[in-house]
């Protein structure tokens, strides 16, 4: 069973937006599927479960298995950003309650908050690459190799998330214009409940006398962050700072495992041009739209290498 979702439900229409697709083609690509969303989510959790088991059972004695398993496990947690992002657009599933629930859960696992992110991300789409209004550009672009490596480590991201979660949980929302008066209470509740989950998990670890919270979540997520930082840096950095979605966003060719765990978000230019297209339709969208985009790169290593070499 599937249904279509109007683009206007996800982002304000832009009268200046170029439209390479016909209305009929876009309607077909806009088809959501709960079945495909649940399959993707189940597979993502299965990868987490298998890699986490291999990490835990080989930790301390078989590093040839433990370390590769940790890398997959850690990135699996970091890549929970992807289902949170997809669900924040309410395109992962046909049912919006399911979208919202998965958005919150995936945010908990990736240390984002889904309710906050939905509002933040809507502004990003509305003001993409606008230095004055795009909230993603509030995080400074690295200007030196040292700043780039710090960004890549995830240290600045962790600090930023801790500050934001604290400020939102305590009602300090003055610096977040995308959080409306009507949504303040629900966003604050979502963040507070998320922090409560972490508190309960820490308490269980302490009572049991086992560092489960660190071994099976915090440390793996730290290991997985650098790869996610590389991916997110590649999406817009070096692209044009204007309102043209054909030039202000990059799509990046990558290996299937990475594309799968990122829910096809490497097709990022396609996503920004038509945010209403669900993740499972993005490869088809790329076939129809790819020739229209300026920035189409051959891998995240290439994009990051080209960025970093200009900092030296």
pLDDT digits (tens, 9 = 90+) for 38-96: 999 999 999 999 999 999 999 999 999 999 999 999 999 999 999 999 999 999 999 99
Cβ atoms within 10 Å of 180's Cβ, excluding its own: 11
176 domain-assigned: yes
* 39: its two tokens: 């399959």
Report whether pLDDT(154) > 50.
Answer: yes
DSSP E strands in 152-275: the ranges are: 250-252
> What's the confidence (pLDDT) of residue 18?
60
Q: Which of 62, 109, 53, 52 is nearest to 82 (CA)?
A: 109
Q: Which of 34, 44, 8, 230 is nearest to 122 (CA)?
A: 8
> What's the confidence (pLDDT) of residue 13?
40
Question: What is the total count of domains within the chain?
Answer: 1
Confidence of residue 7 (pLDDT cuts 50, 70, 90): very low
Q: Which of 24, 33, 28 is nearest to 2 (CA)?
A: 33
Q: Work out whether strand 295-297 and strand 250-252 pair parallel, antiparallel, or are unpaired.
A: parallel
Task: Give the tens place of pLDDT for each residue, 283-307.
Answer: 999 999 999 999 999 999 999 999 9
243 domain-assigned: no
**Residue-range definition of the domain harbouring residue 104:** 29-228
158 domain-assigned: yes
Q: Work out whether strand 2-4 and strand 295-297 pair parallel, antiparallel, or are unpaired.
A: unpaired
Q: Which of 147, 149, 175, 145 is nearest to 163 (CA)?
A: 175
Q: Please give the average per-residue pLDDT across 120-131, as a whole number.
A: 96
Range 122-134 burial, b when 16+ CB lie within 10 A, else e: bbbbebbbbeeeb
Report whether pLDDT(11) > 60.
Answer: no
Q: Please give the average per-residue pLDDT across 239-254, as a whole number.
A: 95
pTM across the whole model: 0.92
216 domain-assigned: yes
> What's the confidence (pLDDT) of residue 17?
58
Report whether pLDDT(312) > 90.
Answer: no
Task: Give the tens place of pLDDT for each residue, 84-108.
Answer: 999 999 999 999 999 999 999 999 9
Report whether pLDDT(250) > 80.
Answer: yes
In eight-state DSSP terms, residue 16 is T
Report whether pLDDT(270) > 70.
Answer: yes
187 domain-assigned: yes
Q: Please give the average per-residue pLDDT across 2-30, as a whole number.
A: 63
200 domain-assigned: yes
* 160: its two tokens: 């930023």
264 domain-assigned: no
75 domain-assigned: yes
Confidence of residue 10 (pLDDT cuts 50, 70, 90): very low
CB–CB of 109/77 below 8 Å?
A: yes
Which contiguous run of DSSP H or E holds residue 190? helix 184-208
* 216: its two tokens: 């099976």
> What's the confidence (pLDDT) of residue 19?
73
């Amino acid at each position: 069973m599937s249904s279509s979702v109007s683009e206007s439900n996800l982002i304000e229409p832009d009268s200046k937006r170029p439209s390479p697709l016909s209305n009929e083609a876009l309607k077909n690509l806009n088809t959501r599927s709960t079945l495909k969303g649940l399959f993707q989510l189940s597979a993502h959790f299965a990868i987490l479960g298998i890699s986490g088991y291999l990490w835990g059972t080989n930790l301390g004695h078989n590093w040839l298995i433990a370390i590769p398993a940790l890398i997959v496990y850690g990135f699996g947690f970091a890549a929970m950003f992807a289902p949170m992002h997809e669900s924040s657009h309410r395109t992962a599933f046909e049912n919006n309650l399911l979208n919202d629930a998965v958005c919150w859960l995936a945010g908990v696992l990736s240390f984002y908050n889904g309710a906050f992110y939905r509002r933040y991300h809507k502004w990003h789409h509305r003001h993409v690459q606008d230095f004055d209004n795009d909230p993603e550009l509030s995080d400074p672009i690295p200007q030196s190799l040292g700043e780039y490596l710090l960004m890549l480590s995830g240290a600045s991201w962790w600090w930023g998330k801790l500050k934001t979660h604290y400020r939102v949980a305590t009602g300090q929302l003055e610096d977040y214009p995308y959080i409306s008066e009507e949504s303040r209470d629900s966003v604050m509740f979502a963040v507070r409940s998320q922090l409560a989950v972490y508190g309960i998990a820490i308490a269980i670890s302490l009572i049991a006398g086992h560092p489960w919270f660190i071994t099976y979540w915090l440390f793996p997520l730290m290991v997985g962050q650098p790869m996610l930082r590389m991916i997110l840096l590649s999406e817009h950095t070096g692209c044009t700072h204007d309102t043209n979605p054909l030039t202000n966003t990059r799509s990046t060719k990558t290996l299937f495992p990475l594309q799968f765990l990122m829910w096809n978000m490497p097709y990022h230019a396609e996503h920004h041009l038509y945010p209403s297209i669900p993740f499972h339709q993005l490869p088809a969208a790329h076939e129809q739209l790819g020739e229209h985009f300026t920035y189409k790169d051959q891998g995240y290593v290439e994009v990051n290498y080209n960025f970093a070499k200009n900092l030296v």
